[in-house]
Structure 1
Amino acid sequence: MIRQLLSHDLPRNRLLTAVLLVILAGLAFAPFLFPGAKALNVAAKILIFIVLVASYDLLLGYTGIVSFAHTMFFGIGAYGIAIASTRMGPGWGSLLVGGLCAVALSLLLSLIIGLFSLRVRAIFYAMITLAVASAFQTLASQLSQFTGGEDGLNFKLPEMLSPAFQLAEEQVLGAWLDGKFITYYILFFTTVLLFLAMLRIVNSPFGRVLQAIRENDFRAEAIGYRIVVFRTLSNVLAAVFATLAGCMLAIWLRYNGPDTSLSFEIMVDILLIVVIGGMGTMYGAICGSAIFLLAQNYLQDLMRIASGTAQGLPLLPALLSPDRWLLWLGILFILSVYFFPTGIVGKLRTWRQ
């Protein structure tokens, strides 16, 4: 049963299996294990980034396409929910209409970009997507009547998803069963379904063709596959999943703005997570997202503790200052690339038992 759910793509390493189970258990029981607002917010972001990074891995890791427009589709999903909820009011219908319109727009844009740009060489395609993403971010900032401009849009969700909603008057196992609790588990089960869907895609005959194109596009075309069609379909699928991740982000935050979903920093984070987790593995999105977001949110706190412990020693307090957390995050990334050139998942899979 589990083998079928995972599309016969098992972790193939006991340590990797244990790591994935720990991450899954932590995310599944996060409201009970980590009841604080910050911890729950980090867990929700890990869920969102698993979908977002896995969708980008479908492009980069499995098809060999470098795109800088992925955050554009991410932002379309978030703006779809935000604009529909602002215009139509809080309701399930608003979420449905916003999500469907966002997916339809992403389908159209990704199809146009794919058909007109994927015929060129990889570097030129990357530059085209970068230009399109920059133009879309500028457009979102200037169309303040629809997008709220630089200030973004605050909106309300259905009553069941609002923090004021209570399923029970008392805590259950240390967690309040409120609207935030319900919203988190909607995100959790959505992430599981979307991840399993992407895992099925990459392990289908279609996914095998994508991998053949990644390895040698000339050979794939020589044996009869129209590589432009397959690359375009891969671009469309990745855009749809990124859009759904954007919808998840907007539902969780109840806000969206240009810096929240369209920032180029998010694109850099996606690239870092794909490299850390392992390109072309899917499971790398889970490991990479968990490690990166935990480091991003808690490394500064750990350095503050370490700096206080090292007081009185030469140089160490200054080196471990919380203000230098980005430096250490960069060092951790360099070390991970050096010791895990195929990513964490790739290294563990090739590690002899």
Structure 2
Amino acid sequence: MIRRLLSGDPPRSTVLAVLLVLIVAALAAAPFLFPGPKSLAVAAKILVFVILVASYDLLLGYTGIVSFAHTMFFGIGAYGVAIASVRLEPGWTAVFSGVAGGLAVSLAFALLIGLASLRVRAIFYAMITLAVAAAFQTLVSQLSDLTGGEDGLNFKVPQMLRPAFRPLSEPLFGVTIDGRIITYYLIAAVSVVLFLMLLRIVNSPFGRVLQAIRENPFRAEAIGYRTVLYRSLSNLLAAAFATLAGAMYALWLRYNGPDTSLSFEIMLNILLMLVIGGMGTMYGAVVGASLFVFAQSYLQDGLHVIHDAVADVAPLALLFEPDRWLLWLGILFVVSVYYFPSGIAGQLRERARGR
């Protein structure tokens, strides 16, 4: 049953399986194990970025397409929900209309970019997508009447997703169930479904063709596969999943702006998460997103504790200064790449296959 649910592609490594179970269990019980707004926000961000990174893995890890426009589709999904919720009566109709509109715009952009650019060499395609993403971010900032410009858009969500909504009069396991908890579990349920869909796609005959194109596009073309068509379909699918991730993120934040979903920093973070987790594994998205978002959110707090403990030792206190958390994040990334050159999930699967 579990094997069928995982589309015939289990983790294949006991260590990886245990790590995935621990991550899933922690995310499933996060509102009760780690009560508090910050921990819940971190868990929700992990869920969203698992889907965002997994969708980029479909593009880069399985098809071999290097694109810097992935955050554009993420932002389109977020802006779709935000604009619809502002322009229409706040409710589920606005949310679904925003998601549908975001998907339509994303697929149109992905199709145009794919048909116009996928025949060129990889480096030129990457530069084209970078230029398109930068132009789109500038356009969004200038269309202030529609997008709110640099200030972004604040909007209302459906009644049952608002913090004031209380379906239960008494706390459950010591936690008050409100609209934020419901929103979190809604995002969790959608993320599980989307991840299983991506896992099914990459393990289907279509996914096998994508991997063949990644390994040798000329050979794939020679045996009869239209590589441009398959690469375009991969581009469309990745854009659709990124759009849905953006819609979930906007629904959680109840806000969206250029820096929230369109910044190039997010694109760099996606690449880091994918490299840390492991490209071409899908499971690497879960591991990479969880570790990176957790470190990004709590590393500075951890350094603050260490800094206070070694405050009397000047060199150590200087080294563990909380403001240097980005330096330590970079060190952790270098160490992870050194010991896991194929990513954590990829390296664990290779070791299990070797044994």
Residue type at the aligned position of 2:281: T
Equivalent residue number for residue 36 of structure 1: 36
Q: Is residue 2:62 matched to residue 1:62?
A: yes
Deviation at 1:314? 4.1
Equivalent residue number for residue 271 of structure 2: 271
Equivalent residue number for residue 197 of structure 1: 197
User: Structure 1 unaligned runs (5+)?
Assistant: none
Give, in whole Å, the separation in 2 of the partners of 1:142 and 1:248: 24
Equivalent residue number for residue 119 of structure 1: 119
Contact 1:77/1:244 (<8 A) preserved:
yes
Deviation at 1:181? 0.8
Contact 1:140/1:258 (<8 A) preserved:
yes
Equivalent residue number for residue 229 of structure 1: 229
Q: Is residue 2:141 matched to residue 1:141?
A: yes
Contact 1:89/1:156 (<8 A) preserved:
no
Deviation at 1:351? 2.1
Of 330-339 and 252-261, more deviation after overlay is shown by 330-339
Give, in whole Å, the separation in 1 of the partners of 2:126 and 2:343: 22
Superposed CA deviations along residues 202-243 of structure 1, whole A, max 9, x for unmatched, are 000000000000001111011011100000000000000000
Equivalent residue number for residue 175 of structure 1: 175
Residue type at the aligned position of 1:102: G
Equivalent residue number for residue 259 of structure 2: 259
Equivalent residue number for residue 215 of structure 1: 215
Contact 1:35/1:174 (<8 A) preserved:
no
Residue type at the aligned position of 2:344: I
* Percent sequence identity over aligned pairs: 67
Deviation at 1:169? 2.0
Give, in whole Å, the separation in 2 of the partners of 1:90 and 1:284: 36
Superposed CA deviations along residues 124-179 of structure 1, whole A, max 9, x for unmatched, are 00000000000000000000000000000000011111100001122101221100
Residue type at the aligned position of 1:325: W
Give, in whole Å, the separation in 1 of the partners of 2:223 and 2:338: 37
Equivalent residue number for residue 289 of structure 2: 289
Contact 1:71/1:263 (<8 A) preserved:
yes
Deviation at 1:338? 1.1
Give, in whole Å, the separation in 2 of the partners of 1:331 and 1:290: 17
Equivalent residue number for residue 82 of structure 2: 82
Give, in whole Å, the separation in 2 of the partners of 1:312 and 1:86: 54
Residue type at the aligned position of 2:60: L
Q: Secondary structure at the match of 2:225?
A: coil
List, as ranges, runs of 4+ consecutive aligned residues in structure 1 with deviation greater than 3 Å.
Answer: none
Contact 1:307/1:317 (<8 A) preserved:
yes
Residue type at the aligned position of 1:211: Q
Give, in whole Å, the separation in 2 of the partners of 1:117 and 1:91: 39
Give, in whole Å, the separation in 2 of the partners of 1:112 and 1:312: 60
Residue type at the aligned position of 2:222: A
Give, in whole Å, the separation in 2 of the partners of 1:242 and 1:161: 22
Equivalent residue number for residue 311 of structure 2: 311
Superposed CA deviations along residues 52-110 of structure 1, whole A, max 9, x for unmatched, are 00000000000000000000000000000000000002111000111001001111110
Give, in whole Å, the separation in 2 of the partners of 1:252 and 1:273: 21
Equivalent residue number for residue 185 of structure 1: 185
Superposed CA deviations along residues 264-303 of structure 1, whole A, max 9, x for unmatched, are 0000000000000000000000000000000000000111
Equivalent residue number for residue 97 of structure 1: 97
The number of equivalent residue pairs is: 353
Give, in whole Å, the separation in 1 of the partners of 2:345 and 2:182: 31
Q: Is residue 2:70 matched to residue 1:107?
A: no
Give, in whole Å, the separation in 2 of the partners of 1:215 and 1:338: 24
Deviation at 1:330? 0.4
Deviation at 1:347? 1.0
Contact 1:277/1:288 (<8 A) preserved:
yes
Give, in whole Å, the separation in 1 of the partners of 2:336 and 2:288: 11
Deviation at 1:9? 0.5
Residue type at the aligned position of 1:333: F
Give, in whole Å, the separation in 2 of the partners of 1:174 and 1:140: 43
Equivalent residue number for residue 73 of structure 1: 73
Q: Secondary structure at the match of 1:81?
A: helix
Q: Secondary structure at the match of 2:313?
A: coil
What is the Cα-based RMSD across aligned positions, in Å? 0.7
Q: Output the TM-score relative to the length of structure 1.
A: 0.99
User: Structure 2 unaligned runs (5+)?
Assistant: none
Alignment of 1:324-339 (within 5 A): 324-339=324-339
Give, in whole Å, the separation in 2 of the partners of 1:66 and 1:189: 29
